[in-house]
């Protein structure tokens, strides 16, 4: 695989501020590492509080004009952004594969198309949304909240950017984006794409850098009205603390340890393999990955055999290969974390069904991890409680449906959940008892209109569809309107 970023624009060491590419206040850079080779691909500019100040000033100046634009004008811009994402999908997919190790087939089939869907949905929601309703003489009016600071993660880089940027600008807000410093290449391409779509200067601004420097400056900035962050619980808590003195709105999509409850009447031959693949999708680097498979104790041996067969058939390899299903873990720190947690599982006495510590056979470099399945896991074990964020599945047995629900809820998280069963009434009843923001029954198709967000320590607020759009709006009541 090449170690050069083939789409590396001359702007990689600049920031997109006020409608153009601008150099950073200080000439510091951050290395971008190819996780498949561990080689440095390129360097990007490292931002500072001074760069955040310039970006926020641009967004603040642009807000009155952008918030007053017509719905039709905003719909047209979003339509152009959507069109350009699809036109440039191969360049975006290649950047994603290079910066975070996504298998190229997965980047093409999922990472880029689903990112485009967030833009389409924001456009379509905006085109029919009623910003004012009058009831009993009082007008209930929804207005853009203002300048929004958006902080996105490294695991779904483009997808999470569009999930925040699209509804924010659709609502009439202006934004300052801080993409992850670990996977910033697709963000550079997106910034150029937004520019080419004709978005007015200052509506979209982007500053690369660390959370400790750029993220903290954004969270504390008095001229930012809202922060939306997707990331770790630690990062979410730090952002909320920094934002507290200015009493800005903070929405957070944080960690998860999602359950997948297989009810006694489930078709196990059909339910287990997709459950394994859902847990391992994106190399297990998804906050909502169903990494706890909760199964009837008397079917445990059958589930283990099905899970092992599925996991052992997964092709791990060079993300540029069309045959690869799972590429490497996205960065060294996360690779080390996954390896530590696999060792923890062994030390806790969980049964290793397949996989285990170390790289797969034939790999001496790159952050490649063996797809790993543990069984006979107790809910009190660390591997059942802590987010591992890698291709590691825990199979937990239960004796009654009530116990299955209790295990599903035995977590500080509450982002997602799955229920598998042929009796739909029972599946629905179990889903209603799971304390999570989104529960999927029998592996349905992804719905970009379905609100996504967490209970408990998985965060607050919602993304996607109408509910995600409304996060960027304030509510005003005009009493005596008529």
Q: Any idea which residues carry the catalytic annotation? A: 253, 287
Coil, strand, or helix at residue 466?
helix
Burial of 294 (0-12, 13-18, 19+ CB in 10 A): buried
User: Can you list the alpha helix ranges (DSSP code H) found in 172-245?
Assistant: 185-196, 216-220, 233-243
Q: Which residues of 398-409 are buried (b: 16+ CB within 10 A; e: fewer)?
A: beebeebbebbb
Query: Which residue reads 């500072």 in tokens?
Result: 48
H/E element holding 293? Answer: strand 292-296
Distance, in Å, from the CA atom of 110 to the CA atom of 117, rounded to the nearest integer, reads 10
Distance, in Å, from the CA atom of 139 to the CA atom of 480, rounded to the nearest integer, reads 8
Within 10 angstroms of residue 369's Cβ, the number of other Cβ atoms is 27
DSSP letter at 379 equals T
Q: Phi first, then psi: what are they for 55, rounded to 5°?
A: -65, -40
Distance, in Å, from the CA atom of 107 to the CA atom of 326, rounded to the nearest integer, reads 11
Q: How far is CA 4 from the centre of its chain?
A: 26
Distance, in Å, from the CA atom of 240 to the CA atom of 202, rounded to the nearest integer, reads 25
Closest to 35 measured CA to CA, from 84, 89, 101: 101
Distance, in Å, from the CA atom of 207 to the CA atom of 215, rounded to the nearest integer, reads 10
Contact 117, 59 (CB under 8 A): no
Closest to 171 measured CA to CA, from 249, 59, 75, 55: 75
Query: Which residue reads 């009058």 in tokens?
Result: 134
How many residues are there in the chain? 482
Q: Calculate ∠ Cα 61-473-52, nearest 5°.
A: 40
């Amino acid at each position: 695989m090449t170690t050069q970023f083939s789409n590396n624009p001359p702007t990689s060491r600049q920031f997109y501020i006020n409608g153009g590419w601008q150099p950073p206040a200080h000439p510091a850079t951050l290395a971008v590492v190819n996780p498949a080779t561990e080689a440095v691909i390129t360097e990007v500019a490292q931002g500072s509080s001074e760069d955040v100040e310039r970006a926020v000033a641009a967004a603040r100046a642009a807000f009155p004009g952008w918030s007053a634009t017509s719905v039709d004008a905003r719909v047209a811009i979003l339509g152009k952004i959507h069109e350009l994402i699809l036109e440039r999908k191969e360049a975006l997919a290649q950047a994603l594969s290079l910066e975070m190790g996504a298998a190229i087939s997965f980047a093409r089939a999922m990472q880029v198309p689903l990112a485009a869907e967030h833009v389409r949905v924001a456009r379509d929601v905006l085109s029919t949304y009623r910003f004012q309703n009058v009831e009993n003489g009082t007008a209930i009016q929804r207005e853009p909240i203002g300048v929004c600071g958006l902080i996105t993660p490294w695991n779904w880089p483009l997808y999470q950017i569009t999930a925040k940027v699209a509804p924010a600008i659709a609502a009439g807000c202006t934004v300052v984006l801080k993409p992850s410093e670990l996977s910033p290449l697709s963000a550079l391409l997106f910034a150029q794409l937004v520019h080419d779509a004709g978005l007015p200067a200052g509506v979209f601004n982007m500053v690369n850098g660390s959370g400790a420097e750029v993220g903290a400056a954004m969270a504390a900035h008095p001229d930012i009205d809202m922060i939306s962050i997707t990331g770790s619980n630690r990062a979410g808590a730090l952002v909320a603390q920094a934002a507290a003195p200015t009493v800005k709105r903070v929405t957070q999509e944080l960690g998860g340890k999602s359950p997948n409850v297989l009810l006694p009447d489930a078709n196990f031959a059909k339910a287990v393999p997709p459950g394994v693949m859902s847990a391992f999708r994106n190399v297990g680097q998804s906050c909502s990955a169903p990494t706890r498979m909760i199964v009837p104790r008397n079917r445990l041996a059958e589930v283990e055999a099905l899970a092992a067969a599925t996991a052992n058939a997964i092709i791990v390899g060079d993300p540029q290969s069309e045959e690869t299903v799972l590429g490497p873990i996205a960065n060294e720190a996360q690779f080390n974390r996954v390896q530590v947690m696999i060792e923890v599982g062994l030390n806790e006495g969980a049964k290793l069904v397949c996989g285990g510590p170390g790289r797969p056979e034939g790999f001496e470099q790159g952050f490649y991890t063996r797809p790993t399945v543990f069984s006979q896991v107790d809910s009190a074990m660390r591997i059942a409680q802590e987010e591992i964020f890698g291709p590691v599945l825990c199979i937990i047995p239960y004796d009654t449906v009530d116990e299955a629900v209790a295990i599903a809820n035995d977590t500080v998280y509450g982002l997602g959940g799955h229920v598998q069963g042929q009796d739909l009434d029972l599946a629905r009843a179990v889903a209603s008892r799971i304390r999570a923001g989104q529960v999927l029954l029998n592996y349905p198709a992804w719905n970009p209109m379905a609100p996504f967000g967490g209970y408990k320590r998985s965060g607050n607020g919602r993304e996607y569809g109408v509910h995600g759009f409304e996060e960027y709006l304030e509510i005003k009541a005009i009493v005596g309107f008529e």
